[in-house]
Chain A
Amino acid sequence: MTNVRSLNAPTDDFAPERDPRSRIIGSGSPIREQSSSRASTGRVSAALIVAMVVGAVAFSWPLFLSHTSAMSAAQAPIVFAVVLPLVLAVVLTELTGGRMDAKALAMLGVLAAVGTILRPLSAGTAGFELIFFLMILAGRVFGPGFGFALGSITLFTSALITSGVGPWLPFQMLSAGFVGLFAGLLPKASGRIEIGLLAAYGMVSAFAYGWLMDFSFWPFAIGDGTQLSFNPDASPLENLHRFVLFNLATSMGWNLGRALTNAVLITLLGVPLLRLLRRAARQANFVPVSLGSTLAE
């Protein structure tokens, strides 16, 4: 990655009179995160890793909910609905604050807008979730941090407009963020292999998203007392077994639909979209800066 430095650090001191023949080369600040120093890449990675750990805990809560705890199964998502926004706030602060300039934010906002209008188009038809393929492609082009931010913000914005804000929203934001995040971490490839890789990732991530969301809201959906319910007395393995059956019975159709939609859209629209997004990234990414290199002409 080219090492690009922002041209003018915010400073008020005036340099002495410049030779009018000297030239400045605009840096144009790229859309990719300006991780111009190791430390800042480290900060972002640390935040994302913490998010993954917290996500792992939050999504698997039915497995370690104990019968003797003070909280019941109905209250557990609420506890996490309080913790998860913290995580999201911290990670988004790290990703966007001071690191994304106007171009990156505008691109983020506009792509989130596209996702927002895609979401109600798929409502009512089981599993045709149109928002994920854009997150995956954008995460691929602009990097894992951008992908995470795009995933969370798309879900948040579409919730503001259509489905409303509720305790499921932080879970959705986190999992959608992960979809974008891991899309940015996929290995390098090009051409048809890349499209195949992205389509496969689309299918995998669709199922993963579905499972994560269903698992964390499983006790809500079915309640206690049935044979497929979460049983606090049973071992984690048995609960998992029950969950798999429950999932097969109910949401498999949705997950399958989501996976197929992702794969189809990525295969069809992947090449031109990647071209468009890469062109935008290129147009915003310029010559490395060399400030004040005077010309002795």
Chain B
Amino acid sequence: MITFENVSVTYAGAARPTLRDVSFTLPEGDLCLVVGTTGSGKSTLLGAMNGLVPHFTGGTLQGRVVVGGRDTARYRPRDLADVVGYVGQDPLRGFVTDTVEDEIAYGMEQLGVDPVAMRKRVEETLDVMGIADLRRRPLIELSGGQQQRVAIASVLAAHPKVLVLDEPTSALDPTAAQDVLSAISTLVHEVGLTVVLAEHRLERVMHAADSMIWLPGDGTAQLGSPAAVLSSADVTPPLAALARTLSWAEVPLSVREARRKVQALGLSLAAPATEPAAASDDQPALTARDVEVRYGEISAVRGVDLDLHGGDVTALLGRNGSGKSSLLWALQGALSCAGEIRVGAADPRKLSAADARRVVTLVPQTAADLLYLPSVAAECEQADRESSAEAGTARAILRRLGADVADDHDPRDLSEGQRLALVLAIQLTARPQVLLLDEPTRGLDYQSKAQLHGIIDALAASGVAVLISTHDVEFAALASRKLLLMADGEVIASGSTSDLLTSSPAYAPQMAKVFAPVPVLTPQDVAKGLA
């Protein structure tokens, strides 16, 4: 279906080729996962399948890409629209119209399909993707998962044979991701499409993949079965890390497979030593009592009590819309709310923005919102000025965080992980006692997440209280000691991470599910338990 013959791609002005001599053939009807760390060329590979590289993005393409019998050298992306459907990273940015039905019809209008056939296809597509009840809704009112499904529906309407998706589930919570993935599975198994998918959070998709392409980062690509590729790739979802720890030749792709293998091998694991609860006789760094946030008539957060102690890392889990973001903004003092919030002696809501920042600081979901200056150096200097710190503090923090970016880089050109590090450095210049992170792991690969874990550990060691809101259960298991579960605006459970995560089958990380009932959370715990 898709053939790459000795393909090399070099962008204008780049020192090295992004893809070097890539050759593979994807059979029809496969669900193929493209994996690799950030910057390894995944987007370029996907763009080459569609013709966007080089016709849209520019650059030089050597070799041949043939998709569905068409050579992308002779066909521009618009000519390939009836063979390849491409869905980019943020679906909301790709929407041209403002209602669901118009968006689905748009592609067909471009292809000149006659109106009767258009009506029929729109109805079919709405049914296949399960969004028929959304047909007249405005697109900006939809949730992330619904938007993603509408984006897929809008390219499906042209009846392509291949579907190319760039990180479809990175911004979604587990339920929405599940919806999207099951829709994709239906397309592969029922409709017979070939789907190529780039994803960071592999643990959700691995079991459905038929083949995997790994991009090591030097420009080459390896195609193989997922189990074989993962055993040698530098991308390590928990099951791959488990396989490496236990020296298995092939990586189990699902929890069930791993569990059966573990039971077949008769492995027994010592439960990890429960750490003694940290001496909580010292004053909590932040206390919140009965916090309530209202938006007009809707109450987003109700009656929340929490304590954050210095040196502790707490994770806040909950689905999208449960009020996590509102709670974090309220704790920072940026959102008006009822209830009592105290950091030390001060109430952050009553302080000025500059003072509140020195006490409680928040890194928002879209970290790039904070950046507006033309270079990294300018941002660091501005951060020093804003926090009344001496010159060079921000730069030093940035270097300590491990992201050594050149001074003259434009912050917009940085990768996700580097941008997050820059924003962290800017916010930490104020030396706050409490750090709040809102969904920091969005768009980060496993290596960056490990680095973030290191940064958070170092911060906790220096006495800062950290609260991370996330729906990445694996990261929460890795980085936090305490856990808060939030639903419908209320905190429904709080306790230590290992207790809460292992007690619920839905929220358990994969290691816990594999080794149940032993309360292990991460592959590192498994390694310790075996030794």
Contact = CB atoms under 8 A, between A and B. Distances in A.
B295 interface: no
B55 A25 contact: no
Contacts of B374: 272, 275
B57 A28 contact: yes
Contacts of A14: 74
A28 B11 CA distance: 11
Interface string A1-33: 000000110000011001011011111110000
Contacts of A21: 6, 62-63
A14 B60 CA distance: 22
A26 B56 contact: yes
Contacts of A8: 55, 74-76, 79
A24 B12 CA distance: 13
Contacts of B6: 20-21
B73 A27 contact: no
Contacts of A25: 54, 59-61
Contacts of B55: 7-8, 26-29
Nearest to A23: B62
A287 interface: yes
A157 to B, nearest CB: 13
Given A7-B55, A20-B6, A275-B374, A26 B74 contact: no
A26 B75 contact: no
A20 B74 CA distance: 13
B58 interface: yes
A18 B62 CA distance: 12
Contacts of B381: none
A207 interface: no
Interface string A253-297: 000000000000000000010010000000010110000000100
Nearest to A14: B74
Given A272-B374, A287-B12, A287-B58, A24 B5 contact: no
B159 interface: no
Nearest to A13: B74
Interface in B1-32: 5-6, 12
A272 B371 CA distance: 13
Residue among B58, B61, B64 with the most chain A CB within 10 A?
B58
Main secondary structure of the interface of A (DSSP, over half): loop
B61 A24 contact: yes
B53 interface: yes
B56 A28 contact: yes
Given A15-B74, A20-B6, A26 B64 contact: no
Given A7-B55, A8-B76, A18-B73, A26 B5 contact: no
Contacts of B74: 8, 14-15
B410 to A, nearest CB: 8
Interface string B59-97: 111111000000101111001000000000000000000
Contacts of B60: 23-26, 287
Contacts of A29: 55-56
B5 A20 contact: yes
Chain B at the A interface: mostly helix, strand, loop or mixed? mixed
A25 B64 CA distance: 13
A26 B62 contact: no
A286 B76 contact: no
Contact of B53 (A7, A15, A26): A26
A27 B55 CA distance: 6
Counting chain A CB atoms within 10 Å of each CB, which of B54, B63, B76, B374 scores highest? B54
Given A272-B374, A287-B12, A24 B73 contact: yes
B61 A20 contact: no
A15 B55 CA distance: 18
Nearest to A7: B55
Interface string B184-202: 0000000000000000000
Given A8-B74, A14-B74, A15-B74, A28 B64 contact: no
Contacts of B79: 8
Contacts of B53: 26
Contacts of A20: 5-6, 63-64
Nearest to B5: A20
A286 B12 contact: yes
Nearest to B56: A28
Contacts of B73: 18, 24
Task: Tell me which of A14, A18, A20, A26 has the highest count of chain B C-beta atoms within 10 A of its own C-beta.
Answer: A26
A18 to B, nearest CB: 7
B247 to A, nearest CB: 41
A26 B62 CA distance: 11
A76 B188 CA distance: 64
Contacts of A27: 55, 58
A26 B58 CA distance: 5
B13 to A, nearest CB: 10
B70 to A, nearest CB: 10
A20 B23 CA distance: 12
Interface string B28-63: 000000000000000000000000011111111111
Nearest to B75: A8
B61 A26 contact: yes
Contacts of B62: 21, 23, 295
Given A20-B5, A272-B374, A26 B54 contact: yes
Interface string B112-135: 000000000000000000000000
A134 to B, nearest CB: 17
A279 B76 CA distance: 24
Contacts of B5: 20
A238 B5 CA distance: 78
A24 B76 contact: no
A191 to B, nearest CB: 16
Contacts of A295: 62
| Highest count of chain A CB atoms <10 Å: which of B57, B61, B63, B74 | B74
11 contacts: A8-B76, A14-B74, A18-B73, A20-B5, A20-B64, A23-B61, A24-B61, A25-B54, A28-B58, A275-B374, A295-B62
The 5 closest A-B pairs by CB, nearest first: A26-B54, A28-B58, A286-B58, A23-B62, A24-B73
Given A7-B55, A23-B60, 7 more contacts: A8-B55, A15-B74, A18-B73, A20-B6, A26-B57, A26-B61, A275-B374
